[in-house]
Amino acid sequence: MTKFIFVTGGVVSSLGKGITAASVAAILEARGLKVTMTKMDPYINIDPGTMSPFQHGEVFVTEDGAETDLDLGYYERFLRHSKMTQRNNFTSGRIYSAVIEKERRGDYLGGTVQVIPHITDEIKARIRASGEGYDIAMIEIGGTVGDIESLPFMEAVRQMQVELGRNNAMLMHLTLVPYIASAGESKTKPTQHSVKELRSIGLQPDVLICRSEHAISDDNRLKIASFTNVEQRAVILCPDAKSIYQIPSILHAQHLDDLICERFGLDTPEADLSDWHQFTQALLNTQETVTVAMVGKYVELPDAYKSINEALLHAGVANNVKVNIDYVDAEKLENDDSLFEHIKAADAVLVPGGFGERGTLGKMKAIRYARENNVPYLGICLGMQLAVIEFARNVLGLDANSTEFDKKTKAPLIGLITEWFDEKGELQLRSDASDLGGTMRLGAQKAELVEDSKLRQIYGSPVITERHRHRYEMNGRYIEQLENAGMKISGYSAKQHLVESVEIANHPWYVAVQFHPEFTSQPRGGHPLFNSFVAAAKQTKK
């Protein structure tokens, strides 16, 4: 039977519930247990797919095409053997939508539909489904205790704890122990009030994870235990660390995994965290640096590019360098020449994915510099589309654009997919304004890499599987012109033969891909594309 660990947060948001939960899951997996994780978000949106990155940060995409909370990225990076799916993230909006749909169909036989039991039953059913086939299911509840939006989730958790019993469910609460500098001491009162709020809705935490900027004394640990009705050994201290990847070791050193296994009656070997130790030592002790200029329009919020940031960090460790990311605002770069000094000073340039026209001229300005000055360039999704447009404009002399930005462009290098073929039997694209045939390509899809291409050399395989999140594709009509001018098409989708990647052979390192390799990068090993990109930056370092 699956054991459930429910993770809640209190006092303030952004304490790191996702990272903490993922760290606990990593330790349990290191003990030989099969672990999965689920995030329940209390907002009314169906999913974060249509939300601005400024509102929600990055949208993480699973193998089966779910647009999810960025915490699922942490889940996959910390777990070796579990992949997230559609059922590992759901929102209040999705829950209410499902219940209303059932009501419209008459599934409730004319009964009055209420939060209890109908909403809570739907939540519980999804929690149980997400844990099927696993030894341990970590269930994270978004927001903080006391939020009105999360009350149905909290009630569902309360009911499940009763239904599952003490040996199959436990509650882990993450809270803040602030340090008051003027008084020179840590304060436990916010944690006490947070637990009091939990207990007022029928939830008693079994474990407290206490976040703090400073070390917490044993006296304060005892005080927290006494006022919250939690065992002293279950008050786990989690001070700020130099790297999030140290958290598994910090929690393991306090025997949190022993406490969990004891509570659930699990007989498992000791956790082997040697790979985590090896990674964190390499990460923290690296001296050499390279600088990557990341040109985007959400650079004020680094969480918008969370998976890319982590992939670059992983690749740095793989190459024994520290990657410094210089965020460059693409929109400001269009007219501010002083910002271009950041591009010139960087060892490599990266243009990430995105939607919309804003900032595209600034991105192409950076792409052109990297292409003409032999600076390593990696384009991802929109970063590939703009690389193609920039090349077509400045090398082929075409008035090129994407139909996303200009429906009447004379040279639609990028456009929506349509279900029609030309006289050669090749899938083509249409650029007129009435074309609404495009559909989002989401999730893992296979790509076939061209022989003798740099990309095939990087992956060491003729066929790869990577995740997608885009609606616009490169127009096959222009392939011959691009290749004759020196831009090689190095990969095609296996299913529809759509362009997946481009590169320039006479450039030290110029690769742009339609997919999102950042979603599958792992701290222990990195990702081949990012590893090669950072290696090129290191080799051509100024």
Residue numbers belonging to the annotated binding site: 13-19, 71, 140, 147-149, 187-192, 223, 241, 354, 382-385, 404, 471
Cα distance between residue 245 and residue 282, in whole Å: 11
Query: Residue 518 catalytic?
Result: yes
Identify any residues that bridge with 402 across adjacent strands, giving them in sequence order.
Answer: 414
What is residue 63's three-state secondary structure?
coil
Structure tokens, 524 = 């222990």
What is residue 17's three-state secondary structure?
helix
Query: Residue 261 catalytic?
Result: no
Cα distance between residue 328 and residue 351, in whole Å: 10
Residue type for 389, please?
Answer: I
Residue type for 332, please?
Answer: K
CA dihedral sign, ordered 28, 29, 35, 38: positive
Structure tokens, 133 = 């086939």
Give the single-character DSSP code of 271.
P
Cα distance between residue 437 and residue 432, in whole Å: 11
Q: Catalytic residue among 29, 122, 500, 518, which?
A: 518
The stretches of 142-188 forming alpha helices (DSSP H) are 151-164
Cα first-last separation, the chain: 57
Contact assessment for residue 75 and residue 65, using Cβ atoms and an 8 Å cutoff? no
Burial 299-319 (b: 16+ CB within 10 A, else e): bebbebbbbbbbbbbbbbbbb
Cα distance between residue 24 and residue 170, in whole Å: 13
Q: Which of 46, 45, 44, 26 is nearest to 36 (CA)?
A: 26
Contact assessment for residue 173 and residue 195, using Cβ atoms and an 8 Å cutoff? yes
Task: Please give the annotated binding residues for CTP, written as ranges.
Answer: 13, 147-149, 187-192, 223
Q: Catalytic residue among 173, 381, 466, 507, which?
A: 381
Contact assessment for residue 273 and residue 27, using Cβ atoms and an 8 Å cutoff? yes
Q: Which of 67, 48, 39, 51 is nearest to 468 (CA)?
A: 67
Cα distance between residue 354 and residue 369, in whole Å: 20
Structure tokens, 108 = 């409730």
Cα distance between residue 285 and residue 280, in whole Å: 8
Q: Catalytic residue among 314, 470, 516, 527, which?
A: 516
**E strands, 149-200, in order:** 169-176, 179-180, 185-186
Task: Please give the annotated binding residues for ATP, written as ranges.
Answer: 14-19, 71, 241
Query: Residue 448 catalytic?
Result: no
Residue type for 381, please?
Answer: C
Cα distance between residue 345 and residue 268, in whole Å: 52
Residues acting as catalytic residues: 381, 516, 518
